[in-house]
């Protein structure tokens, strides 16, 4: 499961860990700085430990180059615009690739998924469409979701408070940070 941050992962982990053995993939080259990247990754690892879950967190080193190349020409798009679709595509493509690599090693995952649909600012239909495309291209299966529904977002706020999680006030990229500041 692609994980964007600890608050978004909280409810999704609580819910899905009843049904699945999960591996988390913290792949977010869209972060505006290494400091923010490290902070969100550390919070995710702390959350998993605090919830007592036996879940591996895979986290590549921070490398924003791919993100800036992917969204070139869309720097001024508003949040929820085309830039976000490209950003989702990058993160879900890499998640599908990771699953494919595991399948080729003989350790397949049943599904790939993302925590991103829990955010009220994220278009779940678009995320699901992109996820399905990226997964099926590599022979993987995408678990469609809209985790914000059925009080999922509300529960993520409760869990964030319970575990004292860092809740950032911008999506992650430098463009969203500037917008939030404005």
Minimum distance from CB of 171 to ligand SF4 (Å)? 3
Minimum distance from CB of 147 to ligand SF4 (Å)? 16
Site for ligand SF4 in 86-125 (CB under 6 A): 87
13 lines the binding site for ligand SF4 (CB under 6 A): no
Segment interacting with ligand SF4 (CB under 6 A) among 80-88, 95-103, 133-141, 147-155: 80-88
Joined together, the tokens standing for residue 138 give 């590599």
Among 55, 3, 47, smallest CA distance to 26 is for: 3
Segment interacting with ligand SF4 (CB under 6 A) among 15-23, 40-48, 78-86, 102-110: 78-86
Among 15, 107, 11, smallest CA distance to 58 is for: 107
Which residue's entry shows tokens 């490290």?
Answer: 38
Cβ nearer to ligand SF4, comparing 2 with 83: 83
Based on the number of CB atoms within 10 Å of its own CB, is 98 exposed (0-12), middle (13-18) or buried (19 or more)? Answer: buried
Beta bridge partners of 112: 142
Interacting residues with ligand SF4 (CB under 6 A): 30, 79, 83-84, 87, 171-173, 175-176
């Amino acid at each position: 499961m692609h994980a964007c941050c600890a608050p978004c992962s909280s409810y999704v982990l609580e819910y899905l860990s009843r049904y699945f053995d999960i591996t988390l993939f913290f792949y977010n080259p869209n972060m505006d700085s290494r400091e923010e990247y490290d902070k969100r990754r550390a919070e995710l690892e702390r959350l998993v430990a605090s919830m007592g879950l036996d879940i591996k967190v895979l986290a590549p080193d921070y490398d924003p180059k791919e993100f800036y190349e992917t969204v070139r020409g869309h720097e001024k798009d508003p949040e929820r615009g085309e830039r976000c679709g490209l950003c989702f595509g990058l993160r879900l493509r890499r998640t599908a690739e990771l699953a494919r690599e595991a399948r080729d090693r003989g350790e397949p995952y049943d599904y790939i998924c993302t925590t991103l649909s829990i955010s009220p600012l994220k278009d779940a239909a678009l995320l699901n469409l992109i996820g399905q495309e990226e997964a099926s291209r590599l022979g993987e299966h995408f678990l469609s979701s809209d985790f914000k529904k059925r009080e999922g977002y509300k529960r993520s706020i409760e869990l964030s408070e319970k575990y004292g999680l860092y809740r950032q006030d911008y999506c992650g990229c430098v463009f969203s940070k500037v917008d939030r500041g404005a």
